[in-house]
Amino acid sequence: MDLTFVWDVNPEIPFLCNYVPIRYYGILFTTGLILGYFVVRKLYQIEGLKVEHLDVLTNYIFIATIVGARLGHCLFYEPNYYLSHPLEMILPIKWIGGELTFVGYQGLASHGGTIGVFIAIVLFCWRYKKSVWSTLDKIAIAAPLTGCFIRLGNFMNSEIIGVQTNADWGVIFQKVDSASRHPAQLYEAFVYLIIFIGLVSFYRKYGQNKASGFIFGLSLVLIFTARFFIEFVKINQVSFEQGMPLNMGQILSIPIVLLCGLVMYWKNRAIKVGML
């Protein structure tokens, strides 16, 4: 049975674009962040923690996600261009045909966003005297849910598409070409949703019996291990990746998986030592 279908959706919402170019991507990105906020809020309530600083933390994370993801894309994937056009790194504009054009933030890297959020949480916890590892655990549970919505936004944009496939399923991204391709964005969105559900289940069963930081490590190991393997069915994002055995997304994922694996080992060992 052939499950291939054609995808030719306008990434801009028609009834809004006459005024401001609003994209489904932006709405899905924001929705993911809002749902992540409510997940973290619920975890605070479950643990009997005060939530008065949660709104402040949310502002830290929102800004860090955008700034980190944007700088990550510019510096990891297109450093030569953006270092020569630094204003375009921080503003949603681009010089096209000699004119300054609003294009939105086209180009966000999840690795950069992850680093930005980590730094923001550390700064927040230092300022407000909160536990860094406990805070990271809560954010890490919500992170894959937000990631799921971001990848759905990529699908609406017909970007970060997969390589061509001869399988009985595939998507023809009409705005790109007429080839049947792996819907890599949907693969990633689905895996992130499963990781989120798994982390919630793990937290309910073992969360209180694990040292703070273990769930943070587990979340990032799962997310970036999945990212590493899904990259094999994605097209390369930039030209310099052609001919490389691993692309930039995979190269950046490896140290995150290794470091977070060490965090899991360290935190799990701390629990065992404490029980002796």
Domain positions in the chain: 13-275
* Tokens linked to 244: 């490389």
Predicted confidence at residue 276, as pLDDT, reads 36
Please give the share of the chain, as a percent, with pLDDT higher than 70. 87
Predicted confidence at residue 19, as pLDDT, reads 64
E strand intervals along 22-131 = 93-96, 99-102
| 98-102, 119-123, 257-261: segment of lowest average pLDDT | 98-102
Predicted confidence at residue 18, as pLDDT, reads 63
Query: CA torsion sign, 265 to 111 to 11 to 233?
Result: negative
| 7-21, 184-198, 215-229: segment of lowest average pLDDT | 7-21
pLDDT in tens, 156-179: 999 999 999 988 889 999 999 989
Predicted confidence at residue 97, as pLDDT, reads 66
The answer on pLDDT for 215 being more than 50 is yes
The answer on pLDDT for 271 being more than 90 is no
The answer on pLDDT for 273 being more than 60 is no
User: Which residue matches tokens 């990633």?
Assistant: 188
Mean pLDDT, rounded, for 203-216? 83
Spell out the residues 6+ positions from residue 240 whose beta carbon is closer than 8 angstroms to its own: none
Q: What is the mean pLDDT of the chain?
A: 86
The answer on pLDDT for 275 being more than 50 is no
The answer on pLDDT for 274 being more than 60 is no
pLDDT in tens, 103-137: 666 677 888 888 999 999 999 999 988 889 999 99
pLDDT in tens, 28-58: 999 999 999 999 999 999 888 888 888 889 8
Query: % helix / strand / coil in the chain, to the nearest 5?
Result: 65, 10, 30
Rounded Cα gap, residues 125 and 21, in angstroms: 36
Bridge-based pairing of strands 180-181 and 171-173 is: antiparallel
Q: What is the DSSP string of 119-178?
A: HHHHHHHHHHT--HHHHHHHHHHHHHHHHHHHHHHHHHTT-SPBPB--SS--EEETTT-S
Predicted confidence at residue 98, as pLDDT, reads 67
Rounded Cα gap, residues 123 and 118, in angstroms: 9
